[in-house]
Structure 1
Amino acid sequence: MAFSLAVSPCPNDTFIFHALVHGLIPGAPHVDLTFADVDVTNTAAEKGAYDLVKVSFAALPWLLGQYQLLPCGGALGRGCGPLVLAREDRDLTGATVAVPGDRTTAYLLFRLWSADRPPAKVEVVPFDRIMPGVADGTYDAGLVIHEARFTYPRFGLTALADLGEWWEKDTGLPIPLGAILAKRGVVDPAEAAEWIRTSVSMAWADPDASREFVLAHAQEMEPEVVRQHIGLYVNEFSLDLGDEGYAAADALLGRAAAAGITPAVTLR
């Protein structure tokens, strides 16, 4: 038996799933791995393309008919939220803002944050083109995630807003960014959760074991940025969402439903 798995090539995902995809977990099945940006997996999961898949929490209202949310392996945390960047301090009235996907958690947070602000024009842009596009004037501002928190000054950009900081101050909760889903009727969710938790624990126990795999897919990130990335996004919520993790996801999707942005959804 084999299962298909789709995650991003980002260091947090390759670090978490190294042991599972390399057959190092006794009793776990063979995994056919696909790397894809989260905006791609959000769309592919709506078509049921993968058995296990990393998606945005913001996409869950369209996916939970086919999939079940797993309590581990995802990306939640504090101090790790999306940033709104520009070349200089400015407001966003009439601005063109590059965003990494229309069903990403980053964009959902942006919509909630900007609800009472003058409207901006939004354009969906591949993540790796956002900062260069803002720097060269193609876009007035950009919404960025992941390692961009560490690298945006290199592009001469300034942070207009930290949406994670805004969210945490407003709710007191961590930011629910990425979720792992298991296809209903195909993958036993309890078994899958156990495989993933074991994979996380093995990664923490021996970080050097996954280093070559992580760096090979880190999209030209230098080792120090990779280390910071893993340290920020792989945390206690990677092992277990717990009550606080579920509360964060409920708060995000509850607010989105109340604002008419997403359908209402029950996570558990």
Structure 2
Amino acid sequence: MGRVFVMGYLSIDRVRGPDGVAREQPGGAALYAALGARAVGAETALLAAAGEDWPEAWDTEAQRLGVDLSQRIRRAGPTRRARLDYAADGTRDSAHHAEAAWWERTAALAPPLPPGPLAPDDVLVLCPMPSGQASRALDAAGPARAVVDTSEAFARREPEALRALLPRLFLFAPSREEIALLGPLSGCAVVEKRGAEGLALFPADGAAPRRFPPPPVAVVDPTGAGDATVGAIAGGLANGQDLDAALGAAVAIGARAVTAQGPAALGFQP
């Protein structure tokens, strides 16, 4: 059995739903991915940098759920802040991607690299991050399998550099909106996140795509569901599942993640 190392960012989210109510909650792709990996029972470590305003209570809760925070560090200044506004049709506006402060904190809070070469059975999850940072993480991780996500912010800013990483990955997991920004993808297996339609796997060998629909659920807050799905895929692989089995379990975790506010559906009670 391997371990999951989740490398990425934490954030303090302000989420406004279709009801117009804004709520502050713990967030960041790294937090949701780590919780997704734990939801399938994988041993999971979080590699992230928090700012001075990240609540200690949130660390305590992550540890209660079994996330190893020994490599979660603090840096001077504030944690990244995300502003997410959801419309009634499910579309999302991520206004923070256009803010200079968000990009400044992205540079200042670069997560720590993996602690030396990882084992072949381990899985490194790279949450959305600049391509250069991802490349350094892949160098440090050695033979571990890499499951990599991105975001519209990075896909729009550096599509060629992200595509160049693909031959080094075990699995790339963008959304269909990100694929539209990145262009044609090749060099590794690709799983496309399709929101309420689940996942579509495009094998590296060019075999026919395989689809993994989610169970029907009532959506309360879709924040972090894709990140939790990616973490759960990595957790299944670390637990010894083949890719199809890992995807089948992960799509159910992603569906569960939308059924409560913030990460509460994954057991996190801030």
Return the TM-score normalized by structure 2. Answer: 0.27
Q: Which has the larger helix fraction?
A: 1
